[in-house]
């Protein structure tokens, strides 16, 4: 158990809908990262927050957005969902903005 929690574990929704994925980092970790894992794309970095501020952006679609709240938990919002958005979404955290990242168990999103 990494200490990173993610909810929900599974999410099934329809195309065009909007969902919110939640992540609570390990106690004391200031940095949160979001990754998408799909069969054809592997693990792709989406976005990083450090102590509430956006630190780095990767291959994140404009339909996706994220934020980190004062209590350091983070939410990833996915809107206008498409079939191709079906994937595992992982959150990871680290103490500072460098070094080892600890991954949560992931949220499996299925878009029908």
Partner 1 sequence: QQQVKQSPQSLIVQKGGISIINCAYENTAFDYFPWYQQFPGKGPALLIAIRPDVSEKKEGRFTISFNKSAKQFSLHIMDSQPGDSATYFCAASMLGTGNQFYFGTGTSLTVIP
Neighbours of 93 (CB within 10 A): 26
Q: What are phi and psi of 24, to 5 degrees?
A: -115, 120
Helical (H) or strand (E) element with 66: strand 64-68
User: Judged by CB, which is closer to partner 1: 15, or 59?
Assistant: 59
User: Judged by CB, which is closer to partner 1: 90, or 111?
Assistant: 90
93 lies in the binding site for partner 1 (CB under 8 A): no
Q: Which stretch binds partner 1 (CB under 8 A): 14-22, 38-46, 67-75, 77-85?
A: 38-46
Residue 16: CB minimum distance to partner 1, A: 28
36 lies in the binding site for partner 1 (CB under 8 A): no
42 lies in the binding site for partner 1 (CB under 8 A): yes
Q: Which of 90, 93, 109, 111 binds partner 1 (CB under 8 A)?
A: 90
Q: CA distances (Å), 88 to each of 36, 40, 76, 77, 105, in order?
A: 6, 12, 13, 14, 9
- 3-state DSSP: the chain helix, strand, coil percent, rounded to 5? 5, 55, 45
Helical (H) or strand (E) element with 5: strand 5-7
Binding site for partner 1 (CB under 8 A): 2, 4, 31, 33, 35, 42-45, 48, 55-56, 58, 90, 92, 94, 97-106
């Amino acid at each position: 158990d990494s200490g990173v929690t993610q909810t929900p574990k599974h999410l099934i929704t329809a195309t065009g809908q909007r969902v919110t994925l939640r992540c609570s980092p390990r106690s004391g970790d200031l940095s949160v990262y979001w990754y998408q894992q799909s069969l054809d794309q592997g693990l792709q970095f989406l976005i990083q927050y450090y102590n509430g501020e956006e630190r780095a952006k990767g291959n994140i679609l404009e339909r996706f957005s994220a934020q980190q709240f004062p209590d350091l938990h983070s939410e990833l919002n996915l809107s206008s969902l498409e079939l191709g958005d079906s994937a595992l979404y992982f959150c990871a955290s680290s103490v500072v903005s460098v070094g080892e990242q600890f991954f949560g168990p992931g949220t499996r999103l299925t878009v029908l």
